[in-house]
Every structure is written in C-alpha cells, then in structure tokens.
Amino acid sequence: DAGVIQSPRHEVTEMGQEVTLRCKPISGHDYLFWYRQTMMRGLELLIYFNNNVPIDDSGMPEDRFSAKMPNASFSTLKIQPSEPRDSAVYFCASSLPGGGGKAFFGQGTRLTVV
Amino acid sequence: AQSVTQLDSQVPVFEEAPVELRCNYSSSVSVYLFWYVQYPNQGLQLLLKYLSGSTLVKGINGFEAEFNKSQTSFHLRKPSVHISDTAEYFCAVRPYNTDKLIFGTGTRLQVFP
C-alpha cells in the first residue's frame, strides 16, 4: 500500500477563494482524521470519521470549514472562503479500528492564503 | 475531555547525551498512549505505544517510554542521541471510549554535534 495520500502538497491561494484538500486513506482503515498544524497551536484535531461517518467535528474552527467522506477511499476538507489565518499544514491520517491501532499520516498539505 | 501537555517546547542536547522528553496527560477515562516523531517536511510516524502490560515500552530508533499512572505521565527517553534524532516529537492519547487521537503541542529536539 502506498500509505495515506494527500493532495496537493502545496497550495497558495488568495483570500476569499475556495480551497479543497484531498485525502486517500490506507485501504481497509475505518478511521480517518483531519489535523491542522500551526506554530502557535501545534497539531489540532479538526474532525474524524468512522466508516465514512463524521463522529466528532468539534475541532472544526468555523462554518467556513467542511469535511466530507463520500466513500471509504476518499475524503475532502474544504475551506470557503479562505482567510490568511487558515495558513497551516493540514494532515490527514487513517487507522484501523480500536485504540491500539496506530495512525498513519499523510505528508500533509501546506496551505498559504495570501 | 482529554488533554496532553508537553512541558518543553524545545530541548537542545549534544550528540551522545541522554535525553528525556516529558509528557503529561489528563483524562477522565483510560487511554492508550503514543509517541510520534515528525521529521522536517514530513508527516508523523509512530515511535512507540502503550496499550497495556509492562509500563516500560520500547520503540524504534532506541527510544523508550515509561507509563506512570499515578503521575499520569508518559515520558520519552533515549540514553544516547544522534544528530539524526533532530525532529519534532509529539505525545498523544487515544481514549478507550472514543478512538479520538489527541496530540500535545510537540517538543522540538535539536541535537548538536
């Protein structure tokens, strides 16, 4: 398996534009997590899914953020409209069920909103 | 609710010296404990995890961690660090009842020659 795949690796966009980040989890993993990493706040959990269903989205900062998982092999995180303070590295991770299952991380998407 | 505290944001150390990266957690339910490492411009990789049993767990690259339930700590140690250990280290917990994976703010380990 190629691991968790995120695209794009880098995204530069203007304030007000819509941004869509994509993630392909490892096949067979039931859990998918979206994290945001910044210098100020470290690694924040935004939302996670179990079997394509959002379980906890309490970390999503505002209504401008939305995430979907239409099937077991694909998830998106969308920001509309984007703002400069959304600039961060966004990570997707997937894992097997059960707390003992370790999470596998993608390489991240570095988002810059100018 | 759960939280993870990494007391040191940066730890500078010379090569071949021992190092300890501290992690404390707070949780009303039992948790699984993890340490992850992030090398520059990469995603996170698992170093080690504690699920149950022996409180001393060994991970990759010579790292080990000890779970102390009474102090709610899970400190990471290595007896002799290498330049290549320079990275960001994250402590994480996963509650038994939610499968949510929660990270601390990270500790940057900088190893000098």
> Which residues of chain A are within 8 Å of residue B95 when distances are taken between CB atoms?
99
What is the pLDDT, as a whole number, of residue A81? 96
What is the pLDDT, as a whole number, of residue A101? 67
One-letter-per-residue 3-state SS of chain A: CCCCEEECCEEEECCCCCEEEEEECCCCCCEEEEEEEECCCEEEEEEEEECCEEEECCCCCCCCEEEEEEECCEEEEEECCCCHHHCEEEEEEEECCCCCCCCEECCCEEEEEC
What is the pLDDT, as a whole number, of residue A100? 63
> Which residues of chain A are within 8 Å of residue B98 when distances are taken between CB atoms?
55-56
B43 to chain A, minimum CA–CA distance in Å?
A: 4
pLDDT in tens, A36-94: 999 888 889 999 999 999 999 999 988 999 999 999 999 999 999 999 999 999 999 99
pLDDT tier, A99 (very low <50, low <70, confident <90, very high otherwise): low
Q: Is the dihedral of CA A33, B42, B37, B72 positive or negative?
A: negative
Q: Which residue of A has its CA nearest to B40?
A: A107
pLDDT in tens, B28-59: 888 899 999 999 888 889 999 998 888 999 99
Using 70 as the pLDDT threshold, list the residues of chain B that sit under it.
none
B39 and chain A: CB distance < 8 Å anywhere?
no
Mean pLDDT value across residues A5-26: 97
What is the pLDDT, as a whole number, of residue B87? 96
Q: How far apart are CA A102 and CA A105, in angstroms?
A: 10
Position A21 pLDDT exceeds 90: yes
